Amino acid sequence: MPSQTAPSPPSIDAPGRAGSVSRDAHVLVADDQPDILEALRLLLKGEGFHVETASSPSGLLAAVDAREYDVVLMDLNYTRDTTSGEEGLDLLTKLRQIDETLPLVVMTAWGTVDIAVDAMRRGARDFVQKPWDNARLLAIVRTQVELSQALRRGRRLEAENLALRNEGVPVLIAESPAMQPVLQVIARVGPSDANVLIVGENGTGKGVVARALHAVSPRAQRSMVTVNAGGVSEGVFESELFGHVRGAFTDAKADRVGRFELADEGTLFLDEIANVPLGQQAKLLRVIETGEFERLGSSRTRRVNVRLISATNSDPYAEVEGARFRQDLLFRINTVEIRIPPLRERREDIPALTHHFLGQHGRRYRKTLTGFDPTAMQALLDHAWPGNIREFDHAVERAVLMAQGPFIKAADLGLRASRDNPGRLEDMSLDDVECFLIKRAMARCDANVSRAARDLGLSRSALYRRLQRYGITVPKQNEP
């Protein structure tokens, strides 16, 4: 024990947020002073943590070697007359060798900026100076527990993906209750040849689900060919999907293999299928029904064996009712339908998604970041995410680029609340909710006022009054 009189621990009657972390979170506290250990044990136990203690470096190392902890809260000085922190700094290196993912939070009564910097350099996630502030210490522990559990879940999911599927398959992070039906359908339908229609808002991960379906199918060793069906103009639709022969049109200087042929014996993923021009849907229906087609400019009939997966961000039944999509084609492409919930309905996945994208972009930009501070994590949890996982990915990427320290702060994320991106629905006014829903309907219907009014259950005149009230402009070609 150091010869100086160490500062006494603070009182432990500060209010906390019991139940805000996993009930199974395990914290190891290491300090050579029994009163410090007891104070921290009572404080953390009161917050629902399972707490174990160690009073020496050897005891700390033995405990970490023996079991898995969500976070270690450790002193830097254990030997009498030592206040330099070197003993604890050496321990950091040894602990990282045992478990490089273990969050380590260091404590000392003789903290300096140099010691804190050195501790972070050696792998510490955060630094607490004695006497500590209860609220700050608990916030740090909660954050590190959350990130630790997300990191381990992410690694487990990655291992399961590699074990159950083929290497290179995208990791499908889906632990929330809202995503369990999606996983169940993938497990049941993926190994079949059934055509699947994936429905969900923009950015929800329809392409990831499509690749997961392909990966668990008997066709996994063959190609999965992706076509943005909505992005193919009507003039080149047949050439793109079915191919063409030389001389079929002015610029056809050589034969070309279409996407259906490229996907033969594999999977064809038609993204945004609801945007396929109505005039081309009959040709698409024929090849789906019979497997037969002709290249543009040729009379030779070809056959393919393709498993079809389609996706759309529109309501396919509303498209059929609006005579914009063939009902017989819908019946062919949706033997099984998978609906992916938006990110706002699966917020339980946000910590794991945070770890996934933080690691991905950290490696890409060669930045070593410890994680997110509590305000940044709360901002991620509170945001409405109208752009879903695609928006989430971009926000984390921006934060990685903007971060100036080991932790990402809320300001680094660049999240803004507005009528286009208003935050949580429960925090919005009635007018803001109405404006938000109208804008989304207009975007979904390509600014077609009649379609948007029908989707919203309004008359055209009622919708126009609301468009005028909220200052939402309509392109001239879509005006009456």
466: left (phi over 0), alpha (psi -120 to 50) or beta: alpha
Indicate the residue type of 130.
K
What CATH number does the domain located at 425-478 have? 1.10.10
Q: What is the pLDDT of residues 110-131, one digit of tens each?
A: 656 667 777 777 778 888 888 8
Distances (CA, A) of 113 to 83, 92, 315: 14, 17, 57
172-339 fold: Rossmann fold (3.40.50)
Question: DSSP state, 81?
Answer: T
The helix/strand/coil state of 463 is helix
- pLDDT of the residue at 78: 76
Q: What is the average pLDDT across 428-451?
A: 81
- Distance, C-alpha 458 to centroid of its chain: 34
Mean pLDDT comparison of 271-275, 370-374, 459-463, 467-471, highest-scoring range: 271-275
High-pLDDT (> 70) share of the chain, %: 85
155: phi then psi, degrees, rounded to nearest 5: -65, -40
- pLDDT of the residue at 480: 52
For residue 348, what pLDDT band results from cuts at 50, 70 and 90?
Answer: very high
* H or E element at residue 74: strand 71-75
d(CA 159, CA 355): 15
The more confident residue out of 113 and 167 is 113
d(CA 147, CA 352): 8
> Where do the structural domains in the chain lie, given as residue ranges?
26-152, 172-339, 343-413, 425-478
d(CA 228, CA 10): 61
pTM: 0.58
Number of Cβ within 10 Å of residue 278's Cβ equals: 13
Q: What is the dihedral of CA 272, 277, 282, 287, to 10 degrees?
A: -40
Mark 43-62 as b/e (b = at least 16 C-beta within 10 Å): bbebbbbebebbbebeebbe
Same fold, 26-152 and 172-339: yes
User: For helices 449-456 and 460-469, what crossing angle results, to 10°?
Assistant: 100
> What CATH class has 26-152?
alpha beta
d(CA 143, CA 373): 7
Are 206 and 198 spatial neighbours (Cβ–Cβ below 8 Å)? yes
What CATH number does the domain located at 343-413 have? 1.10.8.60
Lowest mean pLDDT among 343-347, 362-366, 420-424: 420-424
Alpha carbons within 13 A on the beta-carbon side of 203: 13
